[in-house]
């Protein structure tokens, strides 16, 4: 009995060790390539991106506003229909190769606060590229207050879009995330997936245009975002 007990004890001691050896280590291949939190600065915190600069027209400017224990950046009110002169401002980076994901997995997003008036007929939160030029990835908020993610591949003007099933224009803060992985493009709002669509794995995204927040350009029809933005990021992998 003592011999049998000793053998059983030895076998039990070996089981956890064998299980531990069989479990492969989890290795993360994700790399944060841009991160902005706007704590009084527009510098990139990832160590890989570029400092954003303010571009403005007709006296426009961006402001730092409270968000939780920190700050966020707020943009001028949208131009009214038919108005040819109104304050406008966007934040612009540079043509950063790290923000050209090609066909790789890519995730980007921001935390936003907006009302229907600050979005209007549609507003661009963040983007790199233009749908009709080279390629594009973009996060926007539509007329009905529902955010969406957009991808356009090189050599094509076909738009791949996934729109969330919930609105974010209630004046409260909402975290919005876009994720492209394999043949899937999904959007999440406040940590919950709110939409998914299929994107061919061959869709290749890369362009020579800058990262822009708050609008696609400085014209009066630039899809201005008139709300506030915080916690902007982009992740490869």
Annotated domain spans of the chain: 31-236
pLDDT above 70 coverage of the chain, percent: 88
121 CB burial (10 A radius; 0-12, 13-18, 19+): exposed
pLDDT category of residue 229 using cuts at 50, 70 and 90 = very high
The C-alpha atoms of residue 125 and residue 113 are separated, in whole angstroms, by 11
Q: Note whether 71 and 224 are within 8 A (CB).
A: no
45 pLDDT above the threshold of 60: yes
pLDDT band for position 28 (cuts 50, 70, 90): low
Q: From CA 62, how far away is CA 39, in angstroms rounded?
A: 13
Amino acid 81: pLDDT: 86
CATH for the stretch 31-236: 2.60.120.200
Look at residue 27 and tell me whether its pLDDT is greater than 80.
no
**pTM of the full structure:** 0.87
What are the beta bridge partners of residue 127?
138, 212
DSSP code for 97: G
Which of 88, 109, 203 is closest to 151 using CA atoms?
Answer: 203
CB atoms within 10 A of CB 89: 24
pLDDT: is 8 or 158 the higher one? 158
Average pLDDT over the chain reads 90
> SS3 string of 23-51?
CCCCCCCCEEEEEECCCCCCCCCCCCCCC
């Amino acid at each position: 009995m003592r011999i049998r007990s000793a053998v059983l004890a030895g076998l039990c001691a070996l089981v956890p060790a064998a299980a531990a050896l069989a479990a492969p280590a989890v290795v993360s291949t994700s790399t944060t390539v841009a991160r902005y939190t706007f704590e009084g600065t527009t510098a990139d915190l990832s160590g890989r991106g570029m400092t954003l600069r303010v571009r403005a027209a007709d006296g426009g400017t961006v402001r730092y506003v409270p968000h939780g224990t920190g700050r966020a950046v707020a943009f001028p009110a949208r131009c009214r229909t038919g108005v040819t002169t109104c304050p406008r401002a966007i934040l612009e980076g540079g043509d950063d190769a790290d923000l050209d994901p090609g066909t790789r997995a890519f995730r980007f997003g921001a935390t936003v606060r907006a009302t229907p008036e600050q979005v209007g007929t549609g507003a661009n939160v963040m983007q790199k590229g233009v749908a009709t030029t080279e390629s594009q990835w973009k996060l926007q908020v539509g007329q009905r207050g529902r955010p969406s993610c957009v991808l356009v591949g090189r050599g094509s003007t076909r738009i791949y879009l996934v729109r969330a099933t919930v609105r974010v224009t209630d004046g409260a803060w909402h975290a919005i995330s876009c994720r492209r992985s394999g043949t899937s493009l999904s959007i999440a709002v406040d940590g919950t997936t709110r939409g998914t669509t299929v994107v061919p794995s061959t869709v290749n995204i890369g362009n020579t245009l800058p990262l822009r927040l708050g609008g696609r350009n400085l014209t009066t029809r630039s899809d201005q975002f008139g709300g506030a933005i915080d916690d902007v990021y982009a992740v490869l992998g």
